[in-house]
Structures are given as structure tokens and as C-alpha cells.
Amino acid sequence: MIKVYVSPTCSSCRKVKQWFNEQHIPFEEKNIFKSELNDSELKEILEKSENGTDDIIATKSKIMKEQNVDLDSMTISQMIQFVRDNPSVLRRPIVVDDRHIQVGYDADEMTTFIPRAKKFIEINCSDDVCETLKKSN
């Protein structure tokens, strides 16, 4: 299942949700301010990000500056607790599935979340018969 971590005022978050809805791809929305992120979710996000905290933490955010946070000196447990206490430091949206992570909205990169069956149909079908299949997936 695809998880989309969002905040209510984020325009990129709205674009990501709209894209998934237009593609008829189910996803689970998680508002980072209404439901606390658990350790396993944050570890999964970290494990899948190519550049670790650089990809997911907004280092220029107000909290990071005010608290003079040095992520490099933190253990993973400390960093996870810091993010749980301060979810606004996360870049948004964060989209995660079983293999991929995407931070932010980029329409071209979103195609990695299209299920393989749907990609196969789009690549191999071109006549009217396949249009019906495309709509049903």
C-alpha cells in the first residue's frame, strides 16, 4: 500500500493526492500533524531515502535554526524522537511504497508508483479495446 505523508496546508501534498486519484491508484493518507509517526514508519522512510536525513528533513526550517539542531551528532533513535516531537521539520509530501520513496511532487517521477499491471497495459495497448482495460485499472 502506498502511504502519502502530508500536511493540510501543503499545495504539493494536494497535487500528489490529486495525481493518485486521477490515476485511480489507492493510497493511505497520513497527516503528520494529526497522527504521530511511529518509529517503524520513520525508519522505513529513512531506509528508502537515498541521502538519509538530507532528503527528508528541511534543515532550514525554523525549528532547526532555533534549536541549533545537529542531525549528524544524533543517534538514529534521537533523530526519530526529534522528528516525532517536531513533525514540521519533515519535507512534504513524502510518498512511500514497498520499494520507492518520493519527497515532494514531480509528475514525471510519480509514474514510479503506477502499478506494474497498469504500466504493462499502457505500453502494450493502443486500440479501443485496451481503453476499457486502462480505465478499469
C-alpha to C-alpha distance for 108 and 64, rounded to whole angstroms: 31
Cα of first residue to Cα of last residue in the chain, in angstroms, is 15
Q: For residue 31, how many C-alpha atoms fall within 13 Å in the half-sphere facing its CB?
A: 8
Instruction: State whether the Cα torsion 42-43-47-53 is positive or negative.
Output: positive
Residue 10 annotated in active site:
yes
Active-site residue, selected from the candidate residues 10, 13, 125, 130: 10
Give 91's contacts (C-beta < 8 A, 6+ positions apart).
55, 56, 57, 58, 103, 104
* Residues catalogued as catalytic: 10
